[in-house]
Amino acid sequence: MDIKNNILKKFAKIYGNAEGARVFFAPGRVNLIGEHTDYNGGHVFPCALTLGTYAAVRKREDRKLRFYSMNFSKLGVIESSLDNLKPDKDAGWTNYPKGMMWAFGEKGYKIDCGLDIVVKGNIPHGSGLSSSASVEIVTGYLLKVLFGFEISNQELALIGQYSENKFNGVNCGIMDQFAIAMGRKDCAIFLDTADLSYEYAQVNLQGMKLVISCSNKRRGLGDSKYNERREECETALTEIQAGMGINTLGDLDEQLFEQIKMAIKDEDRRKRARHAVYENRRTIRAVQALKDNDIALFGKLMNESHISLRDDYEVTGEELDTLVEEAWKIDGVIGSRMTGAGFGGCTVSLVKDEAVEKFMEKVGAAYKERIGYAADFYSVEIGSGPCEL
């Protein structure tokens, strides 16, 4: 049974019937290169996936909100109200859709009736493929359609970021929401986070697969060192700005950074800033390599990205390093790196078709032996943005 029928069947079971319910989808995302650059005014290169979040929804006559997740079925129906949109630890996953409803209101888009919602995601939980941003964008898209709001998908991304920053307290950049809201099949988005200018770049995967390796190490973004890294970069930027007029670390190239790096007083902060600068330049070169059809260079830059995230930004950890280092040993792996915030989550690898099976088998065995539990592997495709099914 396809997911749409499956979710409508569950909707009918939970809420009595599925009359008038509509089904929406928003993808997950993976970032091919350009990690921890999005809040440093640099470039990122993410793409939307065919995995994502499905939501069946129906308007109510009152202001009550009822949420049910097929992924967290033990929690049952979680009730709230449009008059009580505030973050609540006990509200769990519903803080993401509630955050979007709150953010819509803050931006002047008033939601005038309650909703019954059933959600099902096929993004591995805690994988770093942005399940939270996917829930935000599917919520934003269904609100836009149901209530007839004139909002572009780019504005949806900004509202998603606003809701994550202000409602859920995660100081994330724009990349996740933008990649999901603006996704296009078989393309990655070359996005300059300093001014939101972007272009689509065709990703020709003939003879290759994108393989996601999920470490299965749990991590929460808000309570990881994510906000700490962001603060370190902001302090480094302030120290550089005392001597020269730049707006973001993304304004620097490698040469200029090496000339002025001693303005940053602390060695750790210097390393964080070096990653932000070098990763941004790597991303620009990687997109050019794709345009030139130089897949070998693209893979080499992916590998260099991981080394920088491991040594300078220090956000990888034993699990991700094991996945990547084992991947590098395998013939047919073009490039491999951690993707997402780090401290767990996933790696992304470009693997030749004929090596995919060996990759999953060998990396999987080495990981289990070293870490003590199994990793999961997904061969993924590049998909489109949000839609009604």
**Would residue 176 show up in a list of annotated catalytic residues for this protein?**
yes
CA angle, 143 as apex, 141 and 149 as ends, to 5°? 95
Distances (CA, A) of 194 to 57, 271, 332: 35, 21, 36
The span from the CA of 142 to the CA of 134, in Å, is 12
The span from the CA of 5 to the CA of 75, in Å, is 22
Residue from 129, 118, 126, 119 nearest 48 by CA = 129
**Rg of the Cα atoms in the chain:** 21
Catalytic residue from among 38, 90, 112, 176: 176
Pairing mode, if any, of strands 115-121 and 64-69? parallel
The span from the CA of 243 to the CA of 259, in Å, is 12
CA angle, 306 as apex, 300 and 307 as ends, to 5°? 90
- Any long-range contacts for 150-155 (C-beta under 8 Å, 24+ apart)? 151/109, 153/181, 153/182, 153/385, 153/386, 154/178, 154/181, 154/182, 154/196
Question: Which residues are known to be catalytic?
Answer: 176
